[in-house]
């Protein structure tokens, strides 16, 4: 577990979930990840709730703005200047869905998509830098882009956030079909996220997306808890170099999809 007081520009720093039923989602994540939720602010906050683990802010939940928008975990990337970064998004072929707006006392946010239509957010910190702890139980551990155009994503995110890449050959048990390589996003030579080709893993109906990983003390126990609550486990649990993980879905009518990981030493 790491306490965090600042994020270098270009680092994923926060995640939040747009909820069809925020009370049901709060109950599920509270039970699974040990989160407690602050009381919502005034009407101007739109019912946004920040989740805490052992007193540290780790993620956010909010009601969906529109009934027809999907429920998904959104990755926020720290930037030095939201307006400047939004301009880079447009220049690189992405789209700025919501122009930079100041959140009083906290920072400036914008919502964007990459050229494939994958949503993400940018965050220029003010009073809030992002998650106050990472890489441990109840906290964000990893952000992973699932794309059908790895090369285009390398160009886009490199132009916008100055990310480099390091590729690792994937070893699959039983030699089944799947991508040959895993791409590690790097910032100043340090890993800050990942990317994988989902074209042979998921059906065409599943859009490109950012997947978020939350730490748990015991992956198998977390999976059992998800299924006992009525959720699903589309993948795993499996062992990888950095731990044991699974991709899971909430039990709610419009489930959030995320991963749980039990990090290795």
Q: Is 105 exposed, middle or buried (0-12, 13-18, 19+ CB in 10 A)?
A: exposed
What is the C-alpha separation between 237 and 170, in angstroms, rounded? 16
Architecture of domain 2-132: Roll (3.10)
DSSP state of 38: P
What is the C-alpha separation between 191 and 176, in angstroms, rounded? 27
Q: What is the pLDDT of residue 92?
A: 98
Average pLDDT, the chain: 92
pTM for the model stands at: 0.94
CA angle 211, 222, 259 (to 5 degrees): 5
Locate all alpha helices (DSSP H) within 81-163, ordered by sequence.
82-91, 150-161
pLDDT per position as a tens digit, 120-151: 999 999 999 999 999 999 999 999 999 999 99
Cis before 237 (ω within 30): yes
CA angle 161, 166, 169 (to 5 degrees): 140
Q: Is 119 in contact with 113 (CB distance < 8 Å)? A: yes
CATH 3.10.180.10, the chain: domain bounds? 2-132, 134-263
Q: What is the pLDDT of residue 202?
A: 84
Which of 76, 62, 190 is CA-nearest to residue 131? Answer: 76
What does the block give as tokens for 158?
């490199």
Residue range 168-173: mean pLDDT, rounded: 69
**Sheet with 95-103, side-by-side order of all strands:** 36-37, 49-53, 56-63, 12-19, 73-78, 119-125, 107-113, 95-103
pLDDT per position as a tens digit, 54-105: 999 999 999 987 777 788 899 999 999 999 999 999 999 999 999 999 998 8
Dihedral sign for Cα 201, 203, 207, 212, please.
negative
For the domain spanning 134-263, the CATH number is: 3.10.180.10
């Amino acid at each position: 577990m790491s306490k965090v007081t600042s994020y270098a520009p270009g680092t994923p720093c926060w995640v939040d979930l747009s909820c069809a039923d925020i009370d049901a989602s709060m109950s599920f994540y509270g039970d699974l990840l040990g989160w407690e939720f602050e009381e919502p602010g005034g009407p101007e906050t739109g019912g946004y709730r920040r989740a805490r683990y052992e007193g540290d802010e780790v993620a956010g939940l909010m009601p969906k703005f529109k009934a027809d928008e999907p429920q998904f975990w959104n990755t926020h990337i720290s930037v030095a200047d939201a307006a400047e970064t939004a301009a880079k998004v447009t220049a690189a072929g992405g789209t700025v869905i919501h122009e930079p707006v100041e959140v009083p006392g906290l920072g400036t946010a914008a919502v964007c998509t990459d050229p494939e239509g994958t949503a993400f957010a940018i965050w220029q910190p003010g009073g809030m830098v992002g998650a106050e702890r990472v890489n441990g139980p109840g906290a964000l551990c990893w952000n992973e882009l699932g794309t059908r155009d790895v090369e285009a994503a390398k160009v886009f995110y490199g132009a916008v956030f100055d990310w480099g890449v390091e590729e690792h050959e994937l070893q699959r048990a039983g030699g089944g079909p799947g991508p040959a390589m895993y791409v590690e996003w790097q910032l100043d030579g340090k890993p800050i996220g990942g990317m994988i080709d989902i074209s042979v893993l998921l059906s065409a109906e599943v859009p490109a997306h950012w997947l978020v990983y939350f730490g748990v003390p015991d992956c198998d126990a977390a999976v059992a808890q998800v299924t006992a609550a009525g959720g699903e486990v589309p993948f795993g649990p499996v062992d990888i170099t950095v731990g044991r993980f699974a991709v899971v879905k909430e039990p709610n009518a419009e489930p959030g999809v995320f991963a749980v990981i039990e990090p290795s030493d």
